[in-house]
Structure 1
Amino acid sequence: MSASTDPTQESRLSLIESIKLLKDIRLWRILVLGFASGYPWIIIGGSTLSIWLREEGFSRTNIGLLGIVFTAYTINFLWAPMLDAVKFKWLSGIGQRRSWILVCQIALVLLTLSMAVCGPSLNIIAFALMAVGVGFFSATQDLAIDAYRITIIRPDEKELIPFGAAMATSGWWLGFGIPAAFLLYLSDMMAWNYVYGVAALMIVPVAILVLYWFEEPDVPPGSVSREWYTTVVVEYVETIKDFFGRHGALIALSLLLFIFLFKIGEAFLGRMVGVFYTEVGYTKTEIATFSKLISTTITIVFAFCAGALMPRLGVFKMLFIAGIAMAITNLMFAWIAMTGPDLTLFLAAVVTDGITSSVSTVAFVAFITYYVSHLHAAGQYGALASLGNAGRTLLAGFSGLLVDQLGGDWALFFVLTSVAVAPALIVLLLIAVSMR
């Protein structure tokens, strides 16, 4: 590994110098793209869909199993190299990265409107297929967004990577948290079908910004023009060869194992948290205010703090601290399960969860970014992010089944999710030691 991409090397920028980096307009474009990345999770995940399904009479097991719609986030590495290779000729004027983003956003608008028209009670199979489509285009959009974020920052601008990760994280939570709270408020005033119609239209302003305000990143050195079908085949091979060649087999395999394990405990929490809140006794208004507005605000603030502090602490220390914090946060939810709907405890839990989510995500995104080549940005980041999402989607899809098997014992469920963090931290320590 070259020194310039070693995440254990700490920057010597002062805190003030780090904050001054925020003047770079590219970081604010990354913020908007983070919003676009987080927003589809409202449509097929989080509290909105789970509460809608619960109100329609679906069981916790069925709600948890509907997490299969997130499978695309786990397997999008299969088509990730195509985003580095394939160009839309009819959108060539806006560039490769932006054209992929725009196509995905158009598809998301149409599919969300279709979900609004259909609804789960009318035809659950058709509804689920539309949700799968949202997951597919959202996962593909993420590939294009991550490739844009990575390539818009030059390899010699290492100091911008933590803030790029912070902006991506803040934007994601802006897209996931604030609109989710708004839609939950709306659900108290209108049917969920109309709420999802509003949700579809909220994607349009972001697409307009991508079309008219964004600039296309420079083409990375080493890019070769070929026929698209030849390029795709070569891209698959070169993406893997480059990653293992630059890092070595042992470090590369250790990185893959850590990335798979790190977010599993948090994913089990996230899949069922909306159901948990309602079953404990919180109202939808309280859920919107505490778990969306307050938690999102905390997450955004501390994402910037994490971006500013990471160059001083180093990414390994940040990841280890975040892992410990994730375990503690899940134990706080176990406390709520034992005591009931106490608003003070709810506030403490969502504040802690917001801090933990921001620090862990910023560190995790920066960690992966450090190991990705600009030339194969979509393919390599897509593969690593897919691996990280594997635990969050495939395993966490059984979270509802686990709660049912535990007899609805939410406290024990959250204790188990806390313990799930430990294997990832052990692997992280081994990676840190091997890189000394």
Structure 2
Amino acid sequence: MASTPAPRPKGWRLFKLALQTRKSATMLGFGFSSGLPYALLIGTLNAWLGEVKIDLATIGVLSWIGLSYSFKFLWSPLVDRLALPGLEGLGRRKSWIVLCQVALVLAFAGLAATDPVRSIGTFALFAFLGALASATQDVAIDAWRIDVADEEASVELLSSIYQFGYRIASIVGGALALVLAGRMSWPMVYVLMAALIGLVVLVTLRAPDTPRPEQGALHATLGAPGELAPATRGAALAVVGASWAWAIGTILTFMARMLSPLGPGEKHPSVAVFTRETGPFIVLATVAVPLLVAALANLARRRQVGVLTQEDSAHGPLRSAMNHLYVALVAPLAELVARLGWGVLVVIGMILTYPLCYNIWGSFAFPFYLEFLHYSKDEVAFASKLFGIVMTIAGIGLGGFLFVRIGRMPTILVGALLPILGNFVYADLADGAPLIDAFGHGVGLHALFGLFGFDDRMIRLLVAISFENVSTGIAGAAFVAYMSGIVSRSYTAVQYALLSSLTFLIGSLGRGIAGEAFDLYGYATVFRWTAAAGLVAVLFVALEWVRVARQGKPAAPEGA
């Protein structure tokens, strides 16, 4: 009889396990180093900008630095293959991690030394460099976790420890940073956070590492007869690479124009106009073009056009780099298109729109709480980062329970509907919370929270955050489970990375127009608009449900 697997450790037991071995203790530090920059750059930074009265349109454009985390799979082959001159002696993964951590310290120091009111362009540059270093560090840390895992420190244990460290960093970079900002200047807060990253560098220097292996397996696979010839792969890669390069260059160019100093009589370009006129082409370049190239690559293989007729064993540095980029950018979509056929359009549409409702306005949460609703930094730190994290964990747990009780697609549908209602809750909060008050008094929430000393004003915030975080916790759990089930085990890491990057694309582009809309129309109106945008995700979930039902069962990924 098969033995029951041991329950995964949590809480203090997990922390105790993390300190027992060198690998697990290092993983705790790496999780902290990964979570702290994300919290400081994607959330807390906007509280600073809101406090110094940077307009919401500018904050929305600056939030596009978060695309670094979405696009990190583009340069992940470089991180995997390139030996850093002068640093390679530290280790194949440690060299990149140390480089990124030093860059993060410098980026935070640069932010601390720059006045965002006087030099928003320079401030944005330091924030972008920090996000780029943080995203690259994540690539190297993910690879390190897989490389060093063994029987004593399994991947599952290291992953749990990583999440534990990441959550600690979220509290430090969110709640603690806000509390500190209420007692000292924002630049001093970021200097202290830079010092924390500096301490983690010492942990990194003592971390174990693995030798750089041979890459023969990849070249042997792509060099087998019947596979696309190098010239054909190169052409496909050139088209996809050019499309991605154009999209990223266009976004960066607009950010630079938006954040550059103005001359006499000049005005910044409209984010709404850019998103409306250029946004669709960015989506076409990053989604439609790669899908079309992937479909054509499959067609060429089926018809034996532009394929190898005999084994190709030749490879050098350029061929090696091209093979890695092909496997990162083209091969995952080619496999998905081959397996799903036209259904891939529904899947990609669902992936693009599912997180839209709660992704668009997330960057404006701190300005909304602090500057519009006038809560104190201590109140927001407790409600959003401490109480909110508990509610998110509860939502994730509830999402897992619903998966077991009502099934896969019903849970995904619930996860699409609840954030829409969450946006209406926040619209009511922006309007003075008449419905939240009526609901809270009606079901006894005000009386319950009142037992802990909270007044009506604080209870409104806690109720809104409770609903929002439980909703997004359920949606996040459902969506991660869905994407984990749709990817092929032959391309698990790269396919998941590629698909997960698309989840942030439209939401990130939408933040720019949302910021301008908040300035023009107010929070309540825009919250209702984003709720309406969530209906698009509901439509795609319904279409995916029909697609899966017609198959009679969920699509089984290759190798499952």
In the alignment, structure 1 residue 121 sits paired with structure 2 residue 236: no
Equivalent residues in 2 for 1:342-361, closer than 5 Å: 342-361=457-476
Once residues 86 and 335 of structure 2 are traced to their aligned partners in structure 1, the CA distance between those partners, rounded to angstroms, is 36
Query: In the TM superposition, what is the alpha-carbon distance from 1:381 to its structure 2 partner?
Result: 3.5
Q: Does 1:329 align with 2:422?
A: yes
Q: Residues 138 and 427 (structure 1 numbering): CA distance in 2 closer, same or farther, change over 3 Å?
A: same
Deviation at 1:177, TM superposition (A): 3.7
Q: Show CA shifts across 1:41-60 (max 9, x none).
A: 333221x3222223323222
Q: Residues 241 and 147 of structure 1: is their aligned pair in 2 closer, same or farther, counting only changes over 3 Å?
A: same
Q: Counterpart of 1:273? A: 365
| Structure 1 counterpart of 2:319, from 212, 230, 244 | 230
What are the equivalent positions in structure 2 for 1:3-402 lying under 5 Å apart? Answer: 19-20=7-8, 35-46=32-43, 48-88=44-84, 96-97=92-93, 99-146=95-142, 172-209=166-203, 212=206, 222-224=217-219, 227-239=316-328, 240-245=330-335, 247-278=339-370, 279-303=372-396, 306=399, 310=403, 316-339=409-432, 342-372=457-487, 379-402=494-517
Task: For structure 1, list consecutive stretches of 5 or more residues without a partner in the other structure.
Answer: 1-12, 155-159
C-alpha separation between the residues in 2 aligned to 1:167 and 1:326? Answer: 29
- Give the structure with higher Rg (CA): 2
User: How big is each residue's C-alpha offset from its partner over 1:311-344, in whole Å with a ceiling of 9 and x where there is no partner?
Assistant: 6765544433222221222222112112258211
Residue 404 of structure 1 corresponds to 519
Higher mean alpha-carbon deviation, 339-348 vs 31-40, is at: 31-40
Q: Deviations over 1:89-111 (max 9, x none)?
A: 76557764554444322211221
Listed as ranges, the gaps of 5+ residues in structure 2 are: 221-314, 434-455, 554-560
The 3 A distance-change label for structure 1 pair 19 and 76 is same
Cα 1:303–1:202 change in 2 (3 A) is farther
- Provide TM-score, normalisation by structure 1: 0.79
1:429 aligns with 2:429: no
Q: Deviations over 1:187-223 (max 9, x none)?
A: 1111111011012122245455555467769979934
Change (3 A) 1:105 1:313: farther
Q: Which amino acid aligns with 2:480?
A: V
Instruction: Classify 1:308/1:95 alpha carbon distance in 2 versus 1 (closer, same or farther; 3 Å).
Output: farther
- RMSD of aligned Cα (Å): 3.9
Q: Indicate the residue corresponding to 1:5 in structure 2.
A: none
Closer, same or farther: CA 349–271 of 1 in aligned 2, 3 Å: same
Aligned-pair distance for 1:182? Answer: 0.6
Per-residue displacement from partner, 1:241-267 (whole Å, max 9, x unpaired)?
Answer: 244225344344433222221222112
Shift of 1:374: 6.8
Query: Is contact 1:272–1:399 with CA below 8 Å preserved after alignment?
Result: no
Note if contact 1:31-1:168 (Cα within 8 Å) is conserved in structure 2: yes
Give the stretch that moved more between structures: 35-44 or 23-32: 23-32
Q: Distance in 1 between matches of 2:6 and 2:407?
A: 14
Q: Among the aligned pairs, what percent are the same residue?
A: 27
Residue identity opposite 1:83 in structure 2? V
Equivalent residue pairs, number? 414
Distance 1:255 1:28 in 2: 39
Residue 164 and residue 258 in structure 1: after superposition, are their counterparts in 2 closer, same or farther (change >3 A)? farther
- Specify the code of the residue in structure 2 equivalent to 1:190: M
Does the residue aligned with 1:133 lie in a helix, a strand or coil?
helix
Is the alpha carbon distance of 1:302 and 1:28 closer, same or farther for their aligned partners in structure 2, counting shifts above 3 Å? farther
* Shift in Å, 1:272: 1.2
Q: Is the 8 A contact 2:373 2:430 kept in 1?
A: yes
**Native 8 Å contact 1:181 1:288 kept in 2:** yes
Moved more, 140-149 or 193-202: 140-149
* Shift in alpha-carbon separation, 1:217–1:368, aligned structure 2, 3 A: farther
Higher relative CO (Cα under 8 Å, sequence separation at least 6) belongs to 1
Deviation larger for 309-318 or 76-85: 309-318
AA in 2 matched with 1:257: G
Provide the rounded CA distance (Å) in 1 between the counterparts of 2:479 and 2:461. 26
Task: Supply the distance in 2 between the matched residues of 1:129 and 1:401 (Cα, whole angstroms).
Answer: 21
User: Compared with structure 1, are the counterparts of its residues 339 and 19 closer, same or farther at alpha carbon in structure 2 (3 Å cutoff)?
Assistant: farther
Distance 2:183 2:524 in 1: 32
- C-alpha contact 1:18 1:308 (8 A) present in aligned 2: no
Greater shift, 335-344 or 123-132, is seen at 335-344
Q: Distance in 1 between matches of 2:404 and 2:159?
A: 12
Q: Give the C-alpha shift of residue 431 in structure 1.
A: 2.7
Matches of 2:321 and 2:173, distance apart in 1:
37
How far apart, CA to CA, are the structure 1 residues paired with 2:465 and 2:404?
Answer: 27
Between the aligned partners of 2:75 and 2:403, the Cα distance in structure 1 is: 32
